[in-house]
């Protein structure tokens, strides 16, 4: 079933590591950013290393993401020194530092997943709904009880 590969096709390895093509350019840029990020974090005091990261390098601007305005302010205060040390250690010719405040990417938490209500809890909610005179509260209790069925 498999015959000779036509010459117009390239292997995935060639696409990923080749010298031409937009995919190889993206990979080279990502690799450079990863290297710059490691160097950048080494320049930061211990606590800041977990809260600030290199986001991009565009022209003469090094873009840094910080978890909060507090960390952004700290980086902004040290920006001249950071740019000098990045130039010395990595050859980065950036003359500007742009700081973005971005919350860290967190894994999906248990709370964000829908939980199924146990049947005995649903029965208790239905009994409470039957005993309540307030129609809005009754409706809310019945909505909660319905989670056991879905």
pLDDT on residue 125: 86
CA 69 to chain CA centroid, Å, is 17
CB 43 within 8 A of CB 85: yes
Question: Residue 52: what are its φ and ψ, rounded to 5°?
Answer: -135, 145
* CA torsion angle 41 98 31 42 (round to 10): -10
pLDDT digits (tens, 9 = 90+) for 62-111: 999 999 999 999 999 999 999 999 999 988 889 999 999 987 766 555 55
Q: Is the per-residue pLDDT at 115 higher than 80?
A: no
Per-residue tokens: 114: 């829908």
- Model confidence pTM above 0.75: no
Q: Is the per-residue pLDDT at 121 higher than 80?
A: yes
Give the domain 13-101 fold.
Answer: GMP Synthetase; Chain A, domain 3 (3.30.300)
């Amino acid at each position: 079933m498999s015959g000779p590969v036509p010459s117009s096709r390239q292997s995935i390895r060639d696409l990923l590591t080749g010298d031409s093509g937009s995919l190889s350019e993206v990979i080279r840029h990502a690799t450079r950013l990863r290297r710059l990020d490691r160097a950048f974090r080494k320049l930061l005091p211990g606590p800041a290393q977990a809260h600030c990261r290199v986001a991009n390098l565009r022209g003469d601007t090094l873009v840094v993401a910080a978890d909060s305005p507090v960390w952004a302010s700290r980086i902004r205060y040290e920006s001249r020194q950071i740019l000098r040390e990045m130039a010395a250690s990595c050859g980065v010719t950036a003359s500007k530092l742009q700081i973005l405040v971005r919350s860290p990417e967190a894994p999906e938490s248990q709370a964000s997943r829908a939980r199924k209500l146990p049947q005995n809890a649903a029965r208790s909610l239905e009994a409470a709904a039957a005993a309540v005179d307030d129609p809005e509260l009754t409706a809310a209790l019945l909505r909660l009880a319905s989670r056991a069925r879905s």
